[in-house]
Amino acid sequence: MIKLFLTSIVILIGLTGCLTKELPQQKTYTLFANTNLAKDKPLTSQSIYVAKPQTLNSLNSTKIFYTQKAYEFEAYALSKWSDTPSKMIQNALTNVLANENIYTFVTASKLKTKATVTINSELINFKQIIDKKNSYTLLQLRLFVTLNNKTIAKEFNYKTLSKPTAYGAVESFNQATTNLAQDVSQFIYNTIKER
């Protein structure tokens, strides 16, 4: 009886130690386009509406996904995005275009005042791939710029090396988002200039 009592106490003390162990905090990350675009572009009378990119629900999650095998997605357990990738990309593009200060206005909101240029897009790929040799992120966006009832499409693809960690993926996606924002900005400016 005493052995059973002592064994029970030892088990309870052991379980209590497991239950009180503190779990690591979940980390939240965001995308930011860190651009220093040239300010020497002339002002234009155009205004721009940036719509949220359309994408598959499986890509549009606050989970940070990676894959080690074809057709298989996994998510980092203790890391997440602050918002969905499509919303963060919409914000990054809107901020970069607005900060150029060459358009009448740039918005991501539907206003009563209609913008002269509409930017729609499709987020095709947004994931980290980890294989035996290296790790990288893929960001693929198809852009549709509508101006004067004509639509011009262009696809942007970025494969950026990363560390095989959640933070490595975040750094890599931020670099890809910066490159995307710069390229989209130049593409839109050239498209407007040619029309």
pLDDT at 35: 76
Residues in a beta bridge with 102 = none
CATH homologous superfamily of 29-194:
ABC-type transport auxiliary lipoprotein component (3.40.50.10610)
Contact 70, 131 (CB under 8 A): no
Tens digit of each residue's pLDDT (9 = 90 or more) over 105-115: 999 998 777 88
* Residue extents of the structural domains in the chain: 29-194
Question: How much is the pTM?
Answer: 0.84
Tens digit of each residue's pLDDT (9 = 90 or more) over 30-60: 998 887 766 677 788 899 999 999 999 888 9
Tens digit of each residue's pLDDT (9 = 90 or more) over 2-30: 666 556 666 666 666 555 566 678 899 99
Q: Which of 58, 30, 69 is nearest to 174 (CA)?
A: 30
Residue/partner pairs of 22-28 with CB below 8 Å, 24 or more apart: 24/78, 25/78, 26/78, 26/79, 26/80, 27/78, 27/79, 27/80, 27/166, 27/167, 28/79, 28/80, 28/81, 28/82
